[in-house]
Amino acid sequence: MNSADLLFELGCEELPPKSLRKLRDALAAGIENGLKDARLAHGAVEKFASPRRLAVIVRDLPFQQPDQLVEKLGPNVKAAFTNGDGDGAPTPAALGFARSCGVEFDQLGRKDTDKGERLAYSAIETGQAAADLLPGIINESLKRLPIAKRMRWGNGSAEFVRPVHWVVFLHGEEIVETSILDVAAGNQSRGHRFHAPDPISINNASEYQQALLNAKVVADFETRQAQVKEAVENTAASLGGQARIDNGLLEEVSALVEWPVPISGGFEDKFMAMPPEVITTTIEDHQKYFPVEDKDGNLLPHFITLSNLESSAPEEIQKGNERVVKPRLEDALFFWEQDNKEPLISRLEKLQTVVFQKELGTLAGKTERVAALGIELAKTCNGNAESVETAAKLSRCDLLTHAVYEMPELQGRMGYYYALNDGHSTEIAEAIEGLYQPRFAGDDLPSNLTGSLLSLADKLDTLAGIFAIGKKPTGDKDPFALRRAAIGVLRLCQELPLTINLEEWLAKAVAAQPVTTNADEITADLITFISERARVLAKDQGIDSRAFSAVLEIAPLNPADIQTRAQAVNDFMQSEAAASLSEANKRAGNILRKQEASEGSLDIDSGLLNEAAEQALQTALQNTLPLVEAAVAKQAYAEALNALTALAGPLDQFFTDVMVMADDEAVRNNRLALLRNIRKALSSVADISLLQS
């Protein structure tokens, strides 16, 4: 047998649950890459993770590398001999090449190459045993795991995210003799910490999962996660409801248990007077429990937790969970009742004491800037300026409430409830929450125009302020989440849509900052930054980068308009006329640039059009231009591009038959004017000269 399955399991103390899947995937990828570099072909790679282990199985891994033909080329034959004709005594260079190959000079051969005949060496190199290569591959994979902070334990020097207690390392049924992180490899694994605490022997990879299952450990992460989900859903159904399952919580809980056992619990009805988000945040984020809802999505006074063992007295675990939840909910209810004793607006003045950023002032100052910018946006975008101003002033007041202090993830949402409690309209309340939307990729936009304008004003102010103090993102560091803010700005403009020129609004936002210097430079940097985010967004929307570049070359930074143009150009690229028109536009531009004539007169003297081809082109232009201009005016960009295809044939004929740079200066200038008009027409939607590969 030339191959067998490989099993590597690293056993340790409980791993960070939010990192478990990432660590598992990184370990498997590292091992797979190491095997590839070592020329060890193999079958499927299977990966496992539970709170106390990371494991990888590699199917059909050979016991030895394949033999390899090694070829080396040395100096040119003419330079290898003292007489220079391929004969005589070898030169020092030739002797040095032989030594580097580990052979005598007369054992070298010769090979014809495109640089002449050269000395050559070839030999069959016997492949190394996999057992000699595998420890290095594993150790290198462990070193490369994405671990922010490693720890040491005991008296050893090994470092890992948690102390390591055992290592299983088998190739077939043979133990790979080595030490990993100061622990000798063997075939002894561990089962469930309480149900099966004794070591269990693993004889080969094929029995790994079943052996652990017998020891009350579900090793496969996805299988365990599916079991958790099913158990929670079934338990919720038994309570007369349905489970509210957040995917992030589901993954985290699945990383906390090796043998999931559902246990339900409940709380008093009096807590149902609070906003449901307060209860679910307490249950989900603080306790890692699953809330239960009725069929209409209304919260029920129940929750479900996952125990990591089969208890003989599950009712005691239930009581313990309920005892933990009750005081948290009591505190939340107290905060809710206390916060509602004061109107939300009463906290506005106190924002003077809260620093937004030390160079940019307080949250009160930011609120004023956002309100002013939002009012201007409302006037431009047919919004309600009074509503935007009111929502802006209230938008950050909930940051000073007890509930948000304890549960900061509810900022905005609590403002919504407090505003309604104070008698404000639903529009204002929803706009307060809308300030923070979209919070992440794919998140919903604000539910009304007032909230959208408020969100846009806030994001523009944040971008302008942070750029003004020189703290724009670098590399993968973006502590102020400015990339997310820029994507939010683009989505708000595109999806509502808001037809605004962002260059103007960025300049306004920069000018309003308390530390603005070099405003024009800051604005230019912001335009570049947002344009790059727009390019990424366009790519995600399936738009060719050439189409996007062609649009951005001639259009102002109006995200809604740019998206419409880019989509039209992207579709136009598939037409037969696109390549011809792109080449013609590029050629016209090159001619005009060489003659420094791109900014000259657009007036054409028909009497100087002597050639049939230029006369035909002028006629085609006169017929086409009104159609293009009318289509562009109503943003029917696909229609405009389709109209431009009428110029393809006449343009090709023009460049074939007509010498633009005629000797007669008047004729030459007239033809250059014709080209300026053509280039202007062809750039009505985008600079289509950029569509070429």
The pLDDT tens digits for 127-181 are: 889 999 999 999 999 999 999 899 999 888 899 999 999 999 999 999 999 999 9
pLDDT range class, residue 599, cuts 50, 70, 90:
low
List the single range of 97-111, 260-274, 359-373, 639-653 with lowest mean pLDDT: 97-111
pLDDT range class, residue 693, cuts 50, 70, 90:
low
Mean pLDDT value across the chain: 92
Counting DSSP H helices and E strands in the chain, the numbers are: 25, 18
Query: In terms of CATH, what superfamily is 569-691?
Result: Isoleucyl-tRNA Synthetase; Domain 1 (1.10.730.10)
Percentages of the chain per state (helix, strand, coil), in multiples of 5: 55, 15, 30
Q: pLDDT at residue 84 above 70?
A: no
- Domain spans, the chain: 3-65+129-214, 68-125, 221-339, 346-540, 569-691
346-540: which CATH number, 3.40.50, 1.10.3210, 1.10.287, 1.10.20? Answer: 1.10.3210
For the stretch 310-345, pLDDT in tens is: 999 999 999 999 999 999 999 999 999 999 999 999
- At 295 the pLDDT is 93
Ordered alpha helix ranges (H), 103-262: 130-143, 208-214, 221-238, 247-254
Nearest by Cα to 29 from 141, 129, 106: 141
Nearest by Cα to 140 from 8, 2, 15: 8
For the stretch 446-487, pLDDT in tens is: 999 999 999 999 999 999 999 999 999 988 889 999 999 999
Q: pLDDT at residue 122 above 60?
A: yes
For the stretch 604-636, pLDDT in tens is: 888 888 889 989 999 999 999 999 999 999 999
- At 85 the pLDDT is 64
Cβ neighbors of 357 (< 8 A, separation 6 or more) are: 465, 466, 469
For the stretch 409-450, pLDDT in tens is: 999 999 999 999 999 999 999 999 999 999 988 899 999 999
- At 684 the pLDDT is 92
DSSP 284: I
- Tell me whether the omega of the peptide bond preceding residue 438 falls within 30 degrees of 0, making it cis: yes
For the stretch 633-665, pLDDT in tens is: 999 999 999 999 999 899 889 888 888 888 888
Strand order in the sheet with 261-266: 242-243, 290-293, 299-307, 261-266
Q: Which of residues 665 and 507 earns the better pLDDT score?
A: 507
Phi then psi for residue 325, to 5 deg, are: -70, -40
pLDDT range class, residue 67, cuts 50, 70, 90:
confident
- At 98 the pLDDT is 85
- Tell me whether the omega of the peptide bond preceding residue 197 falls within 30 degrees of 0, making it cis: no
CA distance 60 to 312: 43
Q: pLDDT at residue 49 above 70?
A: yes
What share of the chain has pLDDT > 70, as a percent?
A: 98
pLDDT range class, residue 106, cuts 50, 70, 90:
confident
CA distance 163 to 204: 25
- The residues facing 201 across adjacent strands are 188
Q: pLDDT at residue 183 above 90?
A: yes
Q: If phi over 0 gives left and psi between -120 and 50 gives alpha, with beta otherwise, what is residue 192? A: beta
> Are the beta carbons of 463 and 509 closer than 8 angstroms?
yes
Q: Which of 123-137, 230-244, 599-613 holds the top average pLDDT?
A: 230-244
- At 184 the pLDDT is 96
For the stretch 345-375, pLDDT in tens is: 999 999 999 999 999 999 999 999 999 999 9
- At 601 the pLDDT is 72
What share of the chain has pLDDT > 90, as a percent?
A: 75
pLDDT range class, residue 260, cuts 50, 70, 90:
very high
- At 1 the pLDDT is 65
Q: pLDDT at residue 598 above 70?
A: no
